[in-house]
Structure 1
Amino acid sequence: MTVLFLLLALIATTAWVTSTVTLRMKALERRADGLERRLGLVLDHFGIEEPEPAGMDEVRALARDGRTVEAIRAHRRLTGSGLLEAKQAVETLTP
């Protein structure tokens, strides 16, 4: 009976910690999104364009040659972007 109680207590504690961490992560994501939006507004206000990462010529060449998957991989490696973001960026490079 004691083992069962300890197991249930462990499961409840794990669930509580997981939900707390999840809520904190969501709050931090919202805050980061707001900061990114504000930074974008500041950059736009001052007319500053974000520099293109070095190596984008390779991504353009791969996309131009129809090697889309390799271009997406290269874009992700260069920028650290996610799969969807890299795919959309490569699609804008292809004619």
Structure 2
Amino acid sequence: MEPTILFLICVVVLGVASIRTQLSRSERRVARVERKLDTVMRHLGLEEEVPRKDEILALVRDGKQVQAIKLYRDATGAGLLEAKQAVDALS
């Protein structure tokens, strides 16, 4: 293999590895900040306001759990597991 191509491949691989490390570090920092914020909110007796909560509750009451989870994800930007846990907690 030509040395220039090999060098470029190595640079790309190292760049990707560096970006993945930085993203992982950032994700851990965000998770830590979210845990702290949750602790402060619990201490103050505050609850997070769920957008479109009435619509989500109506779907849950009608037995439309999947639609409720989808609406929760659309309204909050939450991931699938987080949305399912939140909808289960609402029901």
TM range (shorter): 0.7 to 0.9
**Stretches of structure 2 lacking an aligned partner (at least 5 in a row):** none
Counterpart Cα distance in 1 of 2:84 and 2:70: 9
CA RMSD in angstroms comes to: 1.7
Mapping of residues 6-21 of structure 1, within 5 Å: 6-21=4-19
Give the letter aligned to residue 59 of structure 2: L
**Stretches of structure 1 lacking an aligned partner (at least 5 in a row):** none
2:85 is matched with: 88
Once structures 1 and 2 are overlaid, which stretch shifts more, 60-69 or 42-51? 42-51
Q: TM-score, normalised by structure 1?
A: 0.81
Mapping of residues 19-34 of structure 1, within 5 Å: 19-34=17-32
Moved over 6 A (4+): none
Q: How many residues align?
A: 91
Counterpart Cα distance in 2 of 1:71 and 1:61: 8
* Identity in percent: 43
Q: TM-score, normalised by structure 2?
A: 0.84
Counterpart Cα distance in 1 of 2:23 and 2:89: 31
Larger Rg: 1
Picking from 77, 81, 85, the partner of 2:74 is: 77
